[in-house]
Structure 1
Amino acid sequence: MIDLSHVSKAFGENHVLRDVNLTIDKGSSMVIIGGSGTGKSVLLKCILGLVPPDSGTITLDGQDVTKADRDAFLARFGMLFQGAALFDSLPVWQNVAFRLLRGSLKKPRDEARAVAIEKLRRVGLKPDVADRLPAELSGGMQKRVGLARAIAAEPEIIFFDEPTTGLDPIMAGVINELIREIVTEMGATAMTITHDMTSVRAIADRVAMLHDGVIQWTGPVSQLDSSGDPYVDQFISGRAEGPIEAVR
């Protein structure tokens, strides 16, 4: 469904992506692992067309993402941001229904609210949460609201940017389970950026290791522990010694 061919991107002398080749199959869950500053977020932004690659091509269903109609193209995506990224001044239901209250997906206000409450229920939040402000919610609840917003418009593709950052292990487990369940239920294509190995094992069908702008390894999650790749081996074991140099 998503295909990256020889994609490179630099900002001045900083070469962030170097000849990246990656394929994400329709209905599958791909997880991109790698340390901070390895190019994961830039890769995601290139797929969304927010940052144009310097070379190479990125296609969605065979169509070049840089030439797609922007509104129609972005309407196919849902996004769970790293910090939930909720609008402080809007009640929860308006955050969830944000895309349903404007633009090409606009619905009547009462219908949009009903959809929001249903999506909140799907992520385990009660209807009385709908009229609260984000500041009144815990970090875990905010993350669930962000997930409800990501699925509100029934997207074909969902991106998850560090979905468990800042959460305790129990809530992180809850979010991982929700992501896996929802992606399976919706039949959506998913791409997740994370360095949390618990998340990787919980939600991935396939895994790609990105280091220094290069895809070092890609394969099914079942082969992660036996990849034979020194970069993957060091990353998943958390060793300081290896080809990945620790920033000191």
Structure 2
Amino acid sequence: MTNHTPKIRLRDVRKAFGRKVVLDGIDLDVAKGESVVVIGGSGTGKSVMLKSVLGLLTPDGGAIEVDGESAIDVSNDVRARINRKFGMLFQGAALFDSLPVWENVTFKILAEKKATRSQARDIAVEKLAQVGLEADVASLYPAELSGGMQKRVGLARAIAADPEIIFFDEPTTGLDPIMADVINNLIVKITRETGASALSITHDMASVRKIADRVAMLYQGKIIWAGPVSEIDNSGNPYVDQFIHGRAEGPIIMTAKA
């Protein structure tokens, strides 16, 4: 890999479910150490794009590369090796209710037998400290945590194995504006401290403005605009302008679903 090889590279990625085309030729790069946020309304294909990169879905066409290596139609061993580079903060934190916090944080490490239980607990306490949680939180269960604390634990789990790339799926969903800003600040802090690349999907513009280096907008299966977050207010794209200001009137037509 050269310094110019993107950590993640998508070219002409296509995915349809029956007659419904969801991704219609996606081109996107995430450079080393860069935070890219993909915006777009509900149902525009953001999650399908993310799942395709993660290997949870197989695109119908196009190329997805991680560090210059194809991530499509690869062996299980290659897929596992690629996935070891990844960390993930899920939309709803997605913690295991039956496990204490420390086991949630180090679930992947324990599953891969990368540490003893004692070592894993120490790792969990260290990662919890990085997201602003005290050591005694390690012994609690998810049901004993507030929504904001659960998100922090989810973030600690995302960085537990020191990933090169972190994915953020709607990281501020369900949080009040103040806690959302706390989580956004933590995301910026963590990515800078670890040097990890980040690929996020969200429709929360406060989050976009805080965590993104570069923004791409997905609409009708295509990236219709991409650029530095500093240019988003002057994109010259009417679809982007309508979306970032949350206007009902404009070229984006929202259809009501039963």
Shift of 1:61: 1.2
1:145 is aligned to 2:130: no
CA-to-aligned-CA distance 1:114-154 (integer Å, 9 cap, x gap)? 00011111111111111111001000000000000000000
SS of structure 1 residue aligned to 2:33: coil
SS of structure 1 residue aligned to 2:129: helix
Partners of 2:250 and 2:27 in 1: how far apart?
24
User: What does residue 77 of structure 1 align with?
Assistant: 86
CA-to-aligned-CA distance 1:168-207 (integer Å, 9 cap, x gap)? 1110000000000100110000011100000000000000
- The unaligned stretches of length 5 or more in structure 1 are none
SS of structure 2 residue aligned to 1:243: coil
Shift of 1:247: 2.4
1:62 to 68, 84, 88: 68
How many residues get paired?
247
> RMSD value over aligned CA atoms?
0.9
Partners of 1:215 and 1:222 in 2: how far apart?
18
Contact 2:95 2:154 in 1 (8 A): yes
1:11 to 10, 17, 34: 17
Shift of 1:9: 0.2
Using the aligned pairs only, state the percent identity. Answer: 64
User: What does residue 177 of structure 2 align with?
Assistant: 169
User: What does residue 228 of structure 2 align with?
Assistant: 220
User: What does residue 52 of structure 1 align with?
Assistant: 58
What aligned pairs does 1:1-248 form with structure 2 within 5 A after superposition?
Answer: 1-66=7-72, 67=74, 69-103=78-112, 106-248=114-256
Shift of 1:49: 1.4
- The unaligned stretches of length 5 or more in structure 2 are 1-6
Question: Which runs of 4 or more aligned residues in structure 1 lie more than 4 Å from their structure 2 counterparts after TM superposition?
Answer: none
Contact 2:125 2:138 in 1 (8 A): yes
Partners of 2:45 and 2:220 in 1: how far apart?
7
What amino acid does structure 2 have at the position aligned with 1:53? P
Partners of 1:247 and 1:92 in 2: how far apart?
41
**What TM-score do you get using the length of structure 1 for normalisation?**
0.98
Partners of 1:147 and 1:220 in 2: how far apart?
25
Partners of 1:119 and 1:75 in 2: how far apart?
18
Mean Cα deviation higher: 169-178 or 238-247: 238-247
Shift of 1:102: 1.7
**What TM-score do you get using the length of structure 2 for normalisation?**
0.94
